Structure 1
C-alpha cells in the first residue's frame, strides 16, 4: 500500500511534467509566427490557421476523448496521446510548407485534446479527500505553467536555433511522461459498457467547433458579421440539440445529473470565469511589454515570471487555507485578489516602471493560484472514478470555450478602444489602416517614418484600450466573488469522499 501511495505521486509528477509541453505549445507559436511567415512564405490566412487548426481540433475532440479514456483505458489512451503529441511536434518542427504545418498542428491538437482531460481524470481515480485537493493544485499549476514559460524559452530558442526547435522542445517532456506512465500508472477503465453515443459525439463536436470558430472570427471581424453570426447560431443550435439528446437517450455521452450537484456546476463555472480573466490578461500584457515597454520576445517572457511566482504561491496556500476555511472562501479570496490586481493594473501609464506591472501581475497570479485549482477541485470531487474521463472533459470543454470567448471579447474591446484613441491625422489612408491594425504594426510604422508623435499616440491608445480590458476582467472577477459566495457550497456533499475510488473501477495490475 505504501508503495502504491508513493507511485501515484510519481505518476502525478510525470503527468504534470508532460502537461507543461501542452502549455508551452499554446504560447510558443505566437512567438514563432513572424519567423514562420518568412521561412514558410505563409500568408496571413495561413498564419491564422496555424493557431485555429489546433484550437478547433481540441474543441471537437475534448468530450469524445474523455469518453474513450473511460471505455478503453485511461493509461492506454494517455500513452497513445503522448506518442501522438510527440510525433506531431517532430512533424511541426520539420514542416516545409504551410499546409504540412497546419496538418501537423491538427494532429498536435488531437493529442492535446486527449492529454488534458485524461490527465485530469486520473486525479479522482488515484486520490481522494485532501490528497486529491493537493494533487489538483499541482495539476492546475503545471497546466498553467507552460503558458508564460513559452515566450521565455521560445524567444531564446528563436534567437539561437532553427525555428523548428520551438516544437522539438516538447520531446523531452513527452519522453519522461511516457516512461513514467508506462511503468508506474495502473490501467483503469469504466465498467459501464453502455452503447456508444454517436449522435452525442457528432452534435457536441459540431457545436463546440462552430461556436469556437465563430468566436475566433468575431475577434478578427465583428460580432455583427453575417459569417460570424452563422457560425455562432450553428454552434448554439447544435449544442442545444446535444443537450436535448442527452436528456432523452439511454446511453448519453455525458451524465447531465452532474449538474444537479452545486459543487460540480459552480466549480466548473467559476473555473471558466478564472480562465476568462487570465487569458484576457495573457492576451494584453505581452503586447504591452513589447510595443509600449520595448522588450523583445525573451524579455517579455522574463517579465511574466511574477505571474508564475504568484500562481505557485497561491496554489501552495490554497491547500492550507482550504482545510481551515473551505473551498467557498478560498475561491472568493482568490477572485478578490484577481480583481484587486487587475484594478490596480488599470492605472498603468505609458511611462510606468516595470516594478509596478510586476506588483499587480503578482497579485493577480496569487489570486489565480487560489481560485482556479480550488474551484476545479470542487467540481472534480463530485466525479465518480467510473465517469471521471467524461466529467473531466466536460470541465475542460467549458474552460476551453470560456477562454476562447474571453480572448475574442476582450481582444475586441481592447482593439476597438485602441483604434478610437489613435491620432492618425495627416497620414495616408493605407498607412493609417496599417497603424490601426495592431499596436505592434503602429509602432513599426511610426519608427519607419520617424514620427515621435505617432509612437506616443500608438502607445497611449493601446494603454487606454488595455485599461478598459482590465476593467472588464476585473468586473468578471467581482462577478466570480458574488457567484462563489452565493452558490458554491461550503461543505462537501454527503458521502463524497471515500477512502479510495479504485473499488468502482476495473484495474489491470
Structure 2
C-alpha cells in the first residue's frame, strides 16, 4: 500500500480534475461490484444450478483475493510505479469481467471473480495513493472525499444496476457492465496520471503473501463446506486446521520481521484494536446480510431482480444518512459513545429482523433494514476514524493497511460463516418427505433449487416448506448477528477511553481515505 513521499506543495496540474474523474469511475466500479452479484445470485443459482455453497464461493472469491493481496499489491505500486500498477490492476479487473460475462459454469464464475479480486486489490490502494501527486494539501482533502464518496455510492447502486440488467439481459451482463467503465478509467489513467513511486518502500514479502492467501482461503473453504459435509468431515477438519497453522505461521513471521507487511504490533494499542474489531464486525454482519437477504426478497417474496435491488435501498439510505450525520455526534459525545450506540442500534435492527417470516409484508422488512443501515453508518465510520486516531502519526500508514485488510477479512468470513449457518438451518428445516433421493438433495441445496424441484415434480407443499425454512434460517443469521453486535457494543462502552472527542471532517472520517499513505 502506497507510501506518499512528501507533503510539500504540488504544482497544480490543469488536468487533475479530469484525472480525478477517472479515479472516481474506477472506485465506483469497485463499489458496486461488492454488491451487484448479491442480487444476481438467485438467477445464477437457477441457471447454473448452483448450491448455496457454490453461491458463497461466487461471492467470496472476490473478497478473499481482495483481502489477501491488498497490502502486497500496494507495495508493488510503491516500488514499480503507482500509475503503472493502477493501470495493470484495471486491466486485470477488465479481463476478469470479460471472463465472467462469457463463461457458463460455476467454477469459471468463481475463477473470474478471483481475477477481479486481484485487480481490485491493486486499484483500491493505488487509486488513493496517486492523489498527493495530483493535488496540493489545500485540495487533497476534497479530492479524497470525492473518491471516497464514489466508492460508497457504488454499494447502493450495485443491486439497482444489477436488477435492471437482469430484468433486460442475461446474468453475464452484470460482469459486462464493468467493461466500458474500466476501459474509460484505463484510458484516462494513461493520458492524465503522472507516475510516482517510492524506491525506499519495503519489498513484497512473497512468503507472507502466500501464507495470508492460503490461510484465508483454507478458513473460508472449511466454513463453506462444513454444512454439507459435516464439521467432523476429514476435509473440513483438515482445511480449518491448515488455516490455523498457516495464519499462525504468518503471525510468527510478521512479528520477527524488521519491516513487516502486516504490522501486528499495532494491535497492542487498545484503541486501535477495539475500534478495528468494531469496524470488522460491522462488515461481517453487513456482508452476511447482503448475502442472505436477496434470495428472501427474490425467491421467497417473489420479486424480480430489479424489485429486489430497489427493496435493499432502505438499508443503504440509512447507511448514507448515518455517515453524513456522524461528525456532529462524535464531536459532542465522543467516538466511543457513538460507536457503541451504532452497534446497539444494529443489534436492535437485527433482532427485530429475526421476527421476519415467509409471509411478512415488505413494510416490516423496510423498517428493520432502515434501522440496520443507521446502525451500520453510526458504527463503522467513527470506528475506522478512531482506530487510526489512536495511533501515532508515523504509524498511520501501516495502521490503515492493517485496518482495511482486517475489514475485508471480516467481509469474507461473514459471507462464509453466516451463509453456512443459513445453509445448515435451511436444510434441517426443509421437509423433503416423499421426494426421491436426488430431488431431495437438490431441494436441500438452496431455496431456488427447491422451487425448481417443486416445479418439475409437482411435490405438494415443497415451495411453502422451502420458503418457511429459508426465512427461519435467515432469522437465525440475524439473531446471531444481533447478539454479536450487542456484545461488541458492550465491549466498546466498557473498554474504549472517553477522553478524546472526534474533530475530523466528514471527508476525513470516511472509510476509504485511510488508504492514503503519508
* Structure 1 residues 104 and 409: CA distance shift in structure 2, 3 A: closer
- For the residue of structure 1 that corresponds to 2:249, the secondary structure is helix
In structure 1, which of residues 270, 275, 278 is the aligned counterpart of residue 283 of structure 2? 275
1:261 corresponding residue in structure 2: 269
Q: 1:152-163 counterparts in 2 under 5 A?
A: 152-163=160-171
Deviations 1:373-413 (CA, angstroms, capped at 9, x unpaired): 22122234467887766544422322222222222222232
**1:304 maps onto 2:308 in alignment:** no
1:342 corresponding residue in structure 2: 350
- For the residue of structure 1 that corresponds to 2:461, the secondary structure is helix
1:207 corresponding residue in structure 2: 215
Q: 1:34-433 counterparts in 2 under 5 A?
A: 51=59, 53-95=61-103, 104-119=112-127, 142-143=150-151, 145-175=153-183, 177-178=185-186, 189-190=197-198, 192-194=200-202, 196-218=204-226, 220-381=228-389, 391-433=399-441
* Structure 1 residues 47 and 207: CA distance shift in structure 2, 3 A: closer
Cα separation, 1, equivalents of 2:389 and 2:18: 21
- For the residue of structure 2 that corresponds to 1:199, the secondary structure is helix
Instruction: Tell me by how many angstroms 1:285 deviates.
Output: 1.3
Unaligned 5+ runs, structure 2: 1-8, 509-515
Instruction: Tell me by how many angstroms 1:140 deviates.
Output: 6.3
1:439 corresponding residue in structure 2: 447
- For the residue of structure 2 that corresponds to 1:257, the secondary structure is helix
2:513 corresponding residue in structure 1: none
Contact 1:418–1:465 under 8 Å retained in 2: yes
* Structure 1 residues 353 and 105: CA distance shift in structure 2, 3 A: closer
Deviations 1:250-275 (CA, angstroms, capped at 9, x unpaired): 33223233223233222221111001
* Structure 1 residues 81 and 481: CA distance shift in structure 2, 3 A: same
Cα separation, 2, equivalents of 1:288 and 1:414: 12
Instruction: Tell me by how many angstroms 1:362 deviates.
Output: 0.7
TM-score (normalised: structure 2):
0.81
Q: CA RMSD in A?
A: 4.2
Cα separation, 2, equivalents of 1:489 and 1:137: 28
Unaligned 5+ runs, structure 1: none
Instruction: Tell me by how many angstroms 1:462 deviates.
Output: 2.0
Cα separation, 2, equivalents of 1:46 and 1:115: 27
Deviations 1:162-201 (CA, angstroms, capped at 9, x unpaired): 5443222123443554566667777665564445534333
- Aligned residue pairs: how many? 498
Cα separation, 2, equivalents of 1:43 and 1:473: 23
Contact 1:274–1:371 under 8 Å retained in 2: yes
Cα separation, 2, equivalents of 1:422 and 1:35: 21
Instruction: Tell me by how many angstroms 1:89 deviates.
Output: 2.2
**1:21 maps onto 2:29 in alignment:** yes
Contact 1:65–1:393 under 8 Å retained in 2: no
Cα separation, 1, equivalents of 2:372 and 2:31: 19
Comparing 239-248 and 134-143, the one that deviates more = 134-143
* Structure 1 residues 72 and 493: CA distance shift in structure 2, 3 A: farther
Comparing 358-367 and 235-244, the one that deviates more = 235-244
- For the residue of structure 1 that corresponds to 2:465, the secondary structure is helix
Q: 1:442-453 counterparts in 2 under 5 A?
A: 442-450=450-458, 453=461
